[in-house]
């Protein structure tokens, strides 16, 4: 069983739509939950991270973590064509030094049509 499961898509939506991206995981030790965005031929770029459960909002982006269900989400409001990319969830557990390796989902490819 994979540590992190993510629907690969592709997901195609019209401009202005609300996008919902999700991941599930199996390791209850995970405490940090990240969303990365990756454009073609580029490296992953951090969008936001959340520690433990709860919500976090940054502009048009909202991250949610439900540790009881081992389920995380990223919502994108008022989606733009420039949001078209692959979105990767990543997770890590917490140790004293927090320099831990990340476990990634396989990524969801998003296409926002003008």
Partner 1 sequence: EAGVTQFPSHSVIEKGQTVTLRCDPISGHDNLYWYRRVMGKEIKFLLHFVKESKQDESGMPNNRFLAERTGGTYSTLKVQPAELEDSGVYFCASSQGRVGRYNEQFFGPGTRLTVL
Judged by the rule CB under 8 A, the positions of this chain that interact with partner 1 are 2, 4, 6, 32, 36, 41-46, 49, 51, 88, 90, 96-99, 101-107
Of 65 and 79, which CB lies nearer to partner 1 in the complex structure? Answer: 65
> How far apart are CB 89 and partner 1 at their closest, in Å?
10
Q: Provide, rounded to whole angstroms, the least separation between the CB of residue 79 and partner 1.
A: 23
Classify residue 69 by burial, with Cβ atoms within 10 Å: 0-12, 13-18, 19+.
Answer: exposed
Least distance (Å) between residue 46 CB and partner 1: 6
Q: Distances from the Cα of 53 to the Cαs of 2, 70, 71, 73, 88, in angstroms? A: 21, 10, 10, 11, 19
């Amino acid at each position: 069983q994979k540590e992190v499961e993510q629907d690969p898509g592709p997901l195609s939506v019209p401009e202005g739509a609300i996008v919902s991206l999700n991941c599930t995981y199996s390791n209850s030790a995970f405490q940090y939950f990240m969303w990365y965005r990756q454009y073609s031929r580029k490296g992953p770029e951090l969008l936001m991270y959340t520690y433990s459960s709860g919500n976090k909002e940054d502009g048009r982006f909202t991250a949610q973590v439900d540790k009881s269900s081992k389920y995380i989400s990223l919502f994108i409001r008022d989606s733009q064509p420039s949001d078209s990319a692959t979105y990767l969830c990543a997770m890590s557990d917490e140790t004293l030094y927090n320099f831990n390796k990340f476990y990634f989902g396989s990524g969801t490819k998003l296409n926002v049509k003008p």
